[in-house]
Amino acid sequence: MEALNRFGQALWSKTRKGRMSTVFTILGILSACVLAGSILTGNVSAKQAVDSSDARPLVIPSPVTLSNGFSAIVKEVGPAVVNINTETLPKESSNGASGGQMGQGGQGDQGMQDFFNHFFGFPGGNGGQENQGPSRALGSGFIVDPRGYILTNYHVIDGADRIYVKLSSDPQNSPDPGRLATVVGFDKDTDIAVIKIHSDKPLPTVKIGNSDSAQVGDWVLAIGEPFGLSQTVSAGIISARNRSIDEGADAHQVAKGEFQKFLQTDAAINPGNSGGPLVDMASQVIGMNTAIYTQSNGNEGIGFALPSNTIVNVYNQLIGPEHKVVRGSIGVQFQANTSSAVAKMYGFPNGGVIVSEVVPGGPAAKAGVQPQDIIVSVDGKPIRDGDELISIVSDKHPGTTISLGIIRSGKHITLACGVEDRNKLYANMGTGAGASNEASPSNAGETKFGVSVQPTTAEMNSALHITGGVVVANVKPGSFADAIGLYQGAVITEINRRPVTDVAGFNAAASSLKSGDDVVFVVRNPQNPSGGDSFIGGTLP
C-alpha cells in the first residue's frame, strides 16, 4: 500500500512538471501486460489437453435382491390381482328396459359414485352426462379360485350392465376392455361381491390369511389399480384394528356399517384400489382395500380394508346354492354405547348389553327376554358389548337355539332362545328386508328424523300443563325434521297420536316407522306456554 502511494505521488509530480510523455509510456506498458496475461490464461483453460488414462469406466452391477422381501411378495401375489372396469348404460333407454347381469336392481353408477363422494371427497353426480352415453368406472379384485372366481367390493360393480376383467398378463394398453364377467353374488352389508370369468386354463390365485393375526404395526402391502395404473404397489403398516366407519343409514334406516369392522392402514389407497388385496409379509391376503378417509381427494394415510375373516365367511355363503348371505337374529334392540355409570348402576361393570326393546313375536320375546335385561353371555361365552353380540348371533344359522346368560334385577338366569333369519324377521314386521337385527332404538329418532331429544323437566311439564314429553335438543341440517320445520327447543308430546312422555317412548315410536310413512308431531313451544298444541308433519323419505 505504501509503494502504491509513492507511485501515485511520483505520477502526480511528473504530471505537474509536464512530463506527460513518460506517463503515457508507463500506462501503455501496464495495459500490454494485463492483455497478455488474459490471452495466456484463456489459451490454457480452453486448449490444454487432459490426460484421463487413469479414469475408470462405470459398470452396471448385477441385480441384487434386497432384504425387505417386498418384491418377492409382489411377484407371488401380483399375477392374481386383476383390473375391473365396468360399463353402465344410460338409465333411460328407448324401450324403457335396462340390461344387466346382476339379476337385481341397483343404483347404477351413481351408487358407486356416492361411495366415492363420501369416502374420497369427489364431486357428486356424472356432470349431467347420464343420458349422453355409457358411464365407466374402475376398480380392483383378486382371484381366489383357479376356475375364475374373483373377490371385489360390491360398490365396484354396483349397477353395472357389463363387467370386464383384465388379468395382469393381458396387454394393458390394448383397447380390448377384457374378459366379460358375471356376478355370482353380493352382500351390501359388508360391501363384498363375487364375480367369475371363464378361462381355458387354471388361473393364478392368492393365499388367504387369518386377519385375527394382524397386529398394529405389522407391515402390509396394498396392490391394485389406482386411477387405472395397473399393478401399483404401496407399502405401510396396520395402524388400527376393528375400526368402524359411520356411513349413516340406508333406506330402511339401518346403519350401513353394522357388519363392517375394518383394518386401518397407512399404505397408500386411492380411487381404483377398491377391491384389491391387502397383503401381509407372509404373502397372504388379510384384507380387501375398501375405502379411505380424505379431505383432499387423495391418499392421506388413512385407509380401510375389510378383514379376510369377514371376507371368507361372506364368500362361502355367496358361492352357495342361494348365492346370498343369511344372518341370524334374536330380535332385540339395544343402546350401542353405555357409560360406565350405567354399567355399574345396572350391575354389569365387566361387560354386557342392556336390552332396550324386544321385537314383538321375535325369538327373544318368545324366550322371555324383557327390556332392561342385561345379556352377559351367549352359549357360555361372555359378551363385552353390542358388537360382540351382533357378531356371534349373526353367525348363527337360523333354526338353531342358543343359550342366553342374563342378569335381571340383579339375578343371573339362563334362557334358551331361538335364532331366525334376520331379513325375514324384520320383513315380517313390515320394516323391509335388511332391517337391523340389533339396531339401537336410542338412535332411532336421530337416524330417522335427524333430531336428538332430552326428557322434559318437572318445571317444564308444569309450565306447559303436560304430564311428560321430550325436548328437541338438536336438529340436523337437511334432515327430515329440518325439512318439515321441527325446531330446537320444541317439546314433543305425541307422534301419530301416540303419547310421548319420555325418551324411551319417543324412540319406540320412531322405531315403528318406515320410509313412506306419514309422521305427525304434536309439539308445545316453551316460549309460548299458553299457545297450546302445534302439529308438524311430513312423509318419511
pLDDT digits (tens, 9 = 90+) for 81-103: 999 999 887 654 434 433 333 33
Read off the C-alpha cell for 247. Answer: 356411513
| pTM score of the predicted model | 0.59
Q: Which residue has the higher pLDDT, 146 or 169?
A: 146
* Residue listed under C-alpha cell 376356475: 147
- Binning pLDDT at 50, 70 and 90, where does residue 372 land? confident
**b (16+ CB within 10 A) / e for 455-477:** ebeeebbeebebebbbbbeebee
Per-residue pLDDT tens for 12-51? 555 555 555 554 555 555 555 544 454 445 554 545 788 8
Please enumerate in sequence order all residues whose Cβ is within 8 A of that of 319, keeping only pairs 6 or more positions apart, or say none.
Answer: 149, 184, 185, 194
Q: Which of 30-44, 55-69, 264-278 has the lowest mean pLDDT?
A: 30-44
Residue 324: alpha-carbon gap to chain centroid:
22
d(CA 214, CA 263): 9
Q: Which of 173-177, 355-359, 502-506 has the lowest mean pLDDT?
A: 173-177
Read off the C-alpha cell for 113. Answer: 359414485
Nearest Cα to Cα of residue 331 among 258, 410, 411, 398: 398
Q: Which of 77-81, 171-175, 434-438 has the lowest mean pLDDT?
A: 434-438
Question: Is-contact 312 285, C-beta < 8 A?
Answer: no
Mean pLDDT of 384-391: 85
Provide the β-strand partners of residue 404: 378, 415
- Binning pLDDT at 50, 70 and 90, where does residue 71 land? confident
* Active-site residue set: 155, 191, 274
Q: Is the pLDDT of residue 203 over 90?
A: yes
Read off the C-alpha cell for 480. Answer: 327430515
d(CA 302, CA 293): 6
Most confident of 134-143, 392-401, 421-430: 392-401
- Binning pLDDT at 50, 70 and 90, where does residue 295 land? low
Mean pLDDT of 211-225: 91
d(CA 461, CA 502): 12
Mean pLDDT of 275-284: 93
